[in-house]
Amino acid sequence: MISNIKAFFDSATWTVSYVVFDEPRGSCAIIDPVLDYDPKSSRTSTRSADKLIEFIHQQQLSVEWILETHAHADHLSSADYLKNQLGGRTAIGHSIPVVQKSFKKIFNLGDEFIPDGHHFDHLLTDNEPFQVGKLTAKAISVSGHTSADMAYQFDDAIFVGDTLFMPDVGTARADFPGGDARQLFRSIQKLLAFPPETRLFMCHDYPPTDRSVEWESTVAQQRAHNIHVHDGITENEFVAMRNRRDAALEMPTLLLPSIQVNIRAGKLPSAEKNGVAYFKIPINLI
Ligand SMILES: [Fe+2]
């Protein structure tokens, strides 16, 4: 059982980032770090990322990996900032070129954006093992929310990305380009096939008013209580529910800026001749 998991909750985007480490003064992986972004002023800030850095310095950890579960659409990634500050290798699922290609088209990016995944130091394949100091971790392909989602297993703990949410919230949407509700259901079944006591760590929580924010559940709890995928719900029932629900959801506030940073592994778009970087906002397309 792995005990060294530190969660950081970002209340602006409801995102949970994690530092997983083998032991104090040992090695760590960072999962889904946030770069703060104020859409009103279009200013970034490293307030959230600096909290991770402070913890990593306190524990005297060396960073081996900066992992993204997917190209997030609701927050910008601070992977590039953290890599510059702390070192480590960035990684995401091996299908990220599919996501990059579809957004290259949407944002009409030029020849300088090559959608081959090279922005990341490593692309993880399904079931690929990797080391974090003394810990052996494994990537598990869980596409559906996007076509490149990965979950990361460290012993009895799995960081599930945007697949499952807490049981009373349900599951992630599957209506972004490359998303697929049927595939999401199958990926979730992979996670729910782990032993009942397996601990699942969410990438988000959107708590109802009667409870505070939580990010940890178990396979047993999800199978018994998840409102969208508890035992007994069929694939077709899930797909019908998911598609109906997704049709009524608004786009995330930070969708357009997030994607432009996250398909570049957390780098901002290149600055123009005046030294300023710009986001592109397509009109009447999304
Ligand atoms: Fe997401």
User: How is residue 142 annotated by DSSP?
Assistant: -
Number of residues in the chain: 286
Q: How far is the CA of 73 from the centre of ligand 1 (A)?
A: 5
Separation of 283 CA from ligand 1 center, angstroms?
Answer: 22
Q: Is residue 138 packed enough to be buried (19+ CB in 10 Å), middle (13-18) or exposed (0-12)? A: middle
Per-residue pLDDT reduced to its tens digit, 198-226: 999 999 999 999 999 999 999 999 999 99
Report CA(145)–ligand 1 centroid distance (Å): 7
- Does the pLDDT value for residue 2 go beyond 90? no
- Which tens digits make up the pLDDT trace of 59-106? 999 999 999 999 999 999 999 999 999 999 999 999 999 999 999 999
The alpha carbon of 274 and the centre of ligand 1 are apart by a number of angstroms equal to 33
Q: What are residue 91's DSSP bridge partners? A: 67, 122
C-alpha 232/C-alpha 203 separation (Å) is: 25
Q: What is the mean pLDDT of the chain?
A: 97
Q: Count Cα atoms within 13 angstroms, Cβ side, for 5.
A: 22
- Cα of 186 from ligand 1 centre, angstroms: 17
- Tell me how many degrees the CA angle 130-74-66 measures, rounded to the nearest 5: 20
For residue 60, report the distance from its CA to the centre of ligand 1, in Å: 30
**203 Cα: distance to centroid of ligand 1 (angstroms):** 8
Please say if the pLDDT value at position 244 is more than 90.
yes
Q: What is the DSSP letter of 239?
A: H
Cα–Cα distance list, 200 to 76, 77, 91, 174, 270 (Å): 23, 22, 20, 20, 37
149 C-alpha vs ligand 1 centroid, how far in Å? 9
What's the sign of the alpha-carbon dihedral 65, 219, 1, 214? positive
Q: How far is the CA of 273 from the centre of ligand 1 (A)?
A: 33
114: helix, strand or coil: coil
What's the pLDDT at 101? 97
Confidence (pLDDT) at 286:
85
Q: Which amino acid is at 215?
A: W
Residue ranges of alpha helices (H) inside 231-284 are 235-248, 255-262
Gap from CA of 169 to ligand 1 centroid (Å): 15
Of 32, 23, 31, the C-alpha closest to 2 is 23
Query: Cα(275) to centroid of ligand 1, in Å?
Result: 30
55-68, pLDDT tens digit by residue? 999 999 999 999 99
Distance from the alpha carbon of residue 210 to the mean position of ligand 1, in angstroms: 24
Compute, in angstroms, the gap from residue 204 CA to the centroid of ligand 1: 9
Residue 131: pLDDT band with limits 50, 70, 90 = very high
Q: Which two structure tokens, joined as six digits, stand for 164? A: 């499952």
- Amino acid identity of residue 178, one-letter, is G
Q: How many Cα atoms occupy the beta-carbon half-sphere of 194 within 13 Å?
A: 23
Which residue type sits at 213? V
What is the arithmetic mean of pLDDT over 185-209? 98
38 within 8 A of 45, measured Cβ to Cβ:
yes
CA of 72 to the centre of ligand 1 (A): 4
Rounded distance from Cα 132 to ligand 1 centre (Å) = 24
Largest CA distance in the chain: 58
- Residue with the two structure tokens 């729910």: 192
C-alpha of residue 24 to centroid of ligand 1, in Å: 30
168 CB-contact burial (10 Å; exposed 0-12 / middle 13-18 / buried 19+): middle
Structure tokens at 277: 């970087």
E strands, 122-254, where? 122-124, 129-132, 135-141, 150-154, 157-159, 199-201, 216-218
Q: How far is the CA of 206 from the centre of ligand 1 (A)?
A: 13
Calculate mean pLDDT across residues 251-259. Answer: 95
Res 90: pLDDT: 98
